[in-house]
Amino acid sequence: MVADTPVPELSTVKARRYIDRLDHISSVLDWNARAISRLAIPPSDIWRRVWRSPLLPRHRETWYKLLLNALPLGTRVFPFAPESLLCHACPTVQTLRHFLLDCPLAQQVWSDFRSFFNLPQPVTIQQALFSWPSGGSRFLGGEYGYRLQAGHAVALHTLWTAHCQAVYDDNPSSRPAISNRFKFFLRRHFLTLSSSRFSSRLGALPPSFFS
pLDDT in tens, 75-89: 999 999 999 999 999
Confidence of residue 171 (pLDDT cuts 50, 70, 90): very high
pLDDT in tens, 22-66: 765 555 567 777 888 889 999 988 888 898 888 899 999 999 999
**Which residue has better confidence, 95 or 136?**
95
Give the whole-number percent of the chain exceeding pLDDT 90.
Answer: 55
**Residue-level pLDDT at 108:** 98
Inter-residue contact 47 to 130 (CB < 8 Å): no
Inter-residue contact 145 to 63 (CB < 8 Å): no
Asked whether residue 7 carries a pLDDT value surpassing 60, the answer given is yes
Q: Tell me the mean pLDDT in the region 202-209.
A: 74
Domain ranges of the chain: 1-33, 44-209
Which pairs from 175-178 meet CB under 8 Å and 24+ separation? 175/104, 175/105, 175/108, 178/105, 178/108, 178/109
How open is the CA angle 103-61-81, to the nearest 5 degrees? Answer: 55
Q: Whole-angstrom Cα distance, residue 179 to residue 177?
A: 5
Confidence of residue 70 (pLDDT cuts 50, 70, 90): very high
Q: Whole-angstrom Cα distance, residue 97 to residue 142?
A: 28
**Residue-level pLDDT at 2:** 67
At 25, which amino acid appears? Answer: I
Q: Whole-angstrom Cα distance, residue 133 to residue 46?
A: 9
pTM of the model: 0.84
Inter-residue contact 105 to 162 (CB < 8 Å): yes
At 118, which amino acid appears? Answer: N
CA distances from 25 to 18, 46, 126, 147, 207 (A): 10, 11, 21, 25, 39
Host H or E run for residue 166: helix 142-168
Confidence of residue 200 (pLDDT cuts 50, 70, 90): confident
Helix axes 175-194, 104-117, angle to 10 degrees: 40
Q: Which residues contact residue 174 at a Cβ distance below 8 angstroms, ignoring those fewer than 6 apart?
A: 105
**Residue-level pLDDT at 45:** 86
